[in-house]
């Protein structure tokens, strides 16, 4: 339980800011008949005092003096336990033109309503009085009414607001420990929504606000809500209660949560179910990078490609392991599920989803893969730089093919090229003569293949058979009738394609984020180390995993060792020498540079600058 022991300095401050005491000049110099009634009451003649007050009220209707008589008559009745009869007197006196009489009538009315078993109405009645200051005796009555009614009420928010005003404007409570206990109980009665509203309404630093902040902080830590962890812990740090051991411990937990453990990175990958081969390749790349980098520790969770399992997995990484960042998952649906948790916790998420919508899942979400549009932009841009302007797509009539057709049309228009109507063919087609002839009937000579490499190996020779050749350098073959230029996205490429159809692909441009035969020193190291460890050459997803881990590791070593610092550094372009084309992120949290474009020359790919 939080303690509200106020320092002497705080009490002096309260006294200096306290409002003037509620007191009416009429009370100091009452009419003679009221003075007589007071004397009768003091002597124990309750009946005589009542008759004197009632007679005065009858003889002076509609006057402020009558209001004073009603107030004192009601107090006389409540003092002897007759609140039922006293209430009407207080209700009339509360409308007095004398402000002090009206306020005192409200105070005693609230006290009587409590005695009559209505704590809710009592709190509503005394709510306007929280900012007032009465005589010592009546201030104690106000505190007692507020405390007892608060113990019985279901309207915790109202009671906390009253305590906030009393602590700010009134004298110290007669029983501070009891007030502490009541405030703690009231805060626990609130819903989280009510608590959040009160956080903005209550006076920062005061005991009710501290209790509300503690409730919100503990809830935010349980639900991994970084925004509220920051707001609540900042409020507690700024309060006088920061020296309280319970508050200190909670703030320390908040710091640990917000910072994360810079020595632990999480990985969310599909290691079972659909997509497990991609997940395995990415994981192997990460594990190889961890050996090269010497840390941080890599903690892996299997998503099985399922959003619900992804949610549980990422919460385990954040809540149990306190990871400083998460690498993964694969795919848009699992990324969206993971982002809901990482967004609340403020954890940077490097997703292996190629969807353009990936980064819309949260400000901490980064897209590590190139989108289809990224590759098309790079290919069209390189073709335009060579003076080529007329484009057409040959694509299978399924989801991926139709998406590529739509995006290709947009990118050609954006680059100022001419777009010929695309040519579609049924999925699984093995003979492409008719479709190739349809392409060649157009005026466009730059052809995008939007199919897998095995299909490209059948399509490219068909163009040559129809007299249309793609060449790298030199003149067309003697039997060629026209020159064409091929564009291949990464999905259309494989290492076997050159050996199967390389003769017909000379000069083709290929968008390839990772080229397994690159002669760069780091790529050679990666290829050798991967083959030594896993017994096979690395694929593109292995390279993505390798670079993603190394990017996080390098950024942590630069001193960005909290979740927020790591996120900010990645947004501002912190980078690494990569084996893929992804060396850093743009401010939009996507790859900062386009995928590398290569040209087929002989049996190899040559980088196009």
What number of residues does the chain have? 609
Cβ contacts of residue 591 below 8 Å, gap of 6+? Answer: 367, 368, 369, 370, 374, 581, 582, 584, 585
User: What would the two tokens of residue 324 be?
Assistant: 């400083």
Pairing state between β 485-488 and 418-419: unpaired
CA dist 25 and 30 (Å) reads 8
Asked if 600 and 498 count as a contact pair (C-beta separation under 8 A), the reply is yes
577: left (phi over 0), alpha (psi -120 to 50) or beta: beta
What pLDDT is stored for residue 170 in this prediction? 62
The torsion region of residue 499 among left (phi > 0), alpha (psi -120 to 50) and beta comes to: alpha
- 510-522 burial, b at 16+ Cβ within 10 Å, e below that, comes to bbbbbbbebeeeb
Supply the pLDDT for residue 10: 38
Q: How many CA atoms are closer than 13 Å to the CA of 553, on its beta-carbon side?
A: 21
The CATH number corresponding to 260-367+519-590 among 3.90.1150.10, 3.40.50.2300, 3.40.50.12780, 3.30.470.20 equals 3.40.50.2300
Classify domain 372-511 at the CATH topology level: Rossmann fold (3.40.50)
What is the sign of the dihedral through the CA atoms of 207, 209, 212 and 218?
A: negative
Q: How many Å from the N-terminal Cα to the C-terminal Cα in the chain? A: 67
Q: Which helix (H) or strand (E) holds 396?
A: strand 390-396
Q: Do domains 260-367+519-590 and 372-511 have the same CATH topology?
A: yes
Asked whether the beta carbons of 265 and 323 are under 8 A apart, the reply is yes
Residue 555 burial by Cβ neighbours in a 10 Å radius (0-12, 13-18, 19+)? buried
Residue 495, phi then psi, degrees to nearest 5: -65, -25
Q: Rounded to an integer, what distance in angstroms lies between the CA atom of residue 186 and that of residue 189? A: 5
Torsion angles phi and psi, residue 155, rounded to 5: -95, 75
pTM of this structure: 0.76
CATH number corresponding to 8-255 = 1.25.40
Partners of 469 in the β-ladder: 483
Contact (CB, 8 A) for 456 and 424: no
pLDDT tens digits along 97-153: 999 999 999 999 999 999 999 999 999 999 999 989 899 999 999 999 999 999 999
Q: Is the dihedral of CA 534, 535, 539, 543 positive or negative?
A: positive
H-state helical runs in 294-368: 307-319, 332-345
Asked if residues 383 and 608 have their Cβ atoms less than 8 Å apart, the reply is no
d(CA 518, CA 525): 11
Q: Which sequence spans correspond to the domains of the chain?
A: 8-255, 260-367+519-590, 372-511
Low-confidence ranges of the chain (pLDDT < 70): 1-19, 170-171
pLDDT at residue 14, rounded to an integer = 40
How far from the centroid of its chain's Cα atoms is residue 432's Cα? 51
Distances (CA, A) of 485 to 102, 367, 413: 93, 31, 18
β-pair type (597-601, 509-511): antiparallel
């Amino acid at each position: 339980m939080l303690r509200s022991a106020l320092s002497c300095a705080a009490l002096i401050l309260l006294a200096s800011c306290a409002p003037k005491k509620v007191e009416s000049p009429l009370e100091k110099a009452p009419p003679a008949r009221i003075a007589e009634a007071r004397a009768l009451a003091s002597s124990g003649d309750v009946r005589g005092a009542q008759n004197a007050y009632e007679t005065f009220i009858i003889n002076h209707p509609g006057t402020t003096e009558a209001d004073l008589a009603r107030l004192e008559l009601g107090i006389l009745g409540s003092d002897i336990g007759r609140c039922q009869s006293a209430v009407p007197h207080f209700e009339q006196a509360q409308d007095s033109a004398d402000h002090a009489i009206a306020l005192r009538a409200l105070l005693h009315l609230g006290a009587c309503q409590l005695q009559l078993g209505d704590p809710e109405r009592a709190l509503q009645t005394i709510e306007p009085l929280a900012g007032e200051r009465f005589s010592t005796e009546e201030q104690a009555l106000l505190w007692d009414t507020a405390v007892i009614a608060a113990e019985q009420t279901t309207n915790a928010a109202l009671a906390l607001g009253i305590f906030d005003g009393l602590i700010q404007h009134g004298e110290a409570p007669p029983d501070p420990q009891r007030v502490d206990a009541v405030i703690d109980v009231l805060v626990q009665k609130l819903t989280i929504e009510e608590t959040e509203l009160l956080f903005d309404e209550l006076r920062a630093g005061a005991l009710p606000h501290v209790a509300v902040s503690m409730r919100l902080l503990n809830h935010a830590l349980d639900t991994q809500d970084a925004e509220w962890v920051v707001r609540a812990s900042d409020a507690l740090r700024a309060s006088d209660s920061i020296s309280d051991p319970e508050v200190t411990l909670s703030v320390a937990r908040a710091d640990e949560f917000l910072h994360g453990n810079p020595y632990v990175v999480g990985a969310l990958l599909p290691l079972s179910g659909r997509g497990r081969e991609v997940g395995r390749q990415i994981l192997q790349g990460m594990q190889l990078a961890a050996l090269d980098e010497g840390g941080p520790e890599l903690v892996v969770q299997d998503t099985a490609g399922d959003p619900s399992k992804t949610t549980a997995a990422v919460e385990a990484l954040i809540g149990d392991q306190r990871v400083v960042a998460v690498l993964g998952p694969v795919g848009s649906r699992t990324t969206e599920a993971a982002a809901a948790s990482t967004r609340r916790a403020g954890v940077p998420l490097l997703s292996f989803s190629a969807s353009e919508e990936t980064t819309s899942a949260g400000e901490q979400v980064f897209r590590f893969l190139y989108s289809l549009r990224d590759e098309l932009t790079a290919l069209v841009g390189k073709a335009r730089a060579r003076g080529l302007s007329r484009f057409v797509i040959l694509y299978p009539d399924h989801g991926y093919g139709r998406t590529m057709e739509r995006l290709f049309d947009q990118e050609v228009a954006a680059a100022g090229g001419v777009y010929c109507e695309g040519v579609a063919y049924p999925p699984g087609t093995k003979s492409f003569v008719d479709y190739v002839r349809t392409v060649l009937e157009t005026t466009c000579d730059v052809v995008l293949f939007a199919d897998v490499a095995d299909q490209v190996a059948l399509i490219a020779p068909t163009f040559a058979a129809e007299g249309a050749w793609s060449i790298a350098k030199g003149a067309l073959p003697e039997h060629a009738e026209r020159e064409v230029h091929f564009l291949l996205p990464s999905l259309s490429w494989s290492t076997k394609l050159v050996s199967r159809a390389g003769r017909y692909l000379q000069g083709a441009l290929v968008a390839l984020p990772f080229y397994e035969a690159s002669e760069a020193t780091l790529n050679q190291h990666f290829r050798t180390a991967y083959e030594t460890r896993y017994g096979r050459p690395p694929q593109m997803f292995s390279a993505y995993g390798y670079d993603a881990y190394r990017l996080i590791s390098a950024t942590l070593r630069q001193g960005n060792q909290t979740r927020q610092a790591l996120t900010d550094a990645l947004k501002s372009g912190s980078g690494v020498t990569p084996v893929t084309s992804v060396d850093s992120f743009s401010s939009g949290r996507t790859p900062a540079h386009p995928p590398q474009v290569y040209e087929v020359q002989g049996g190899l790919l040559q980088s196009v600058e």
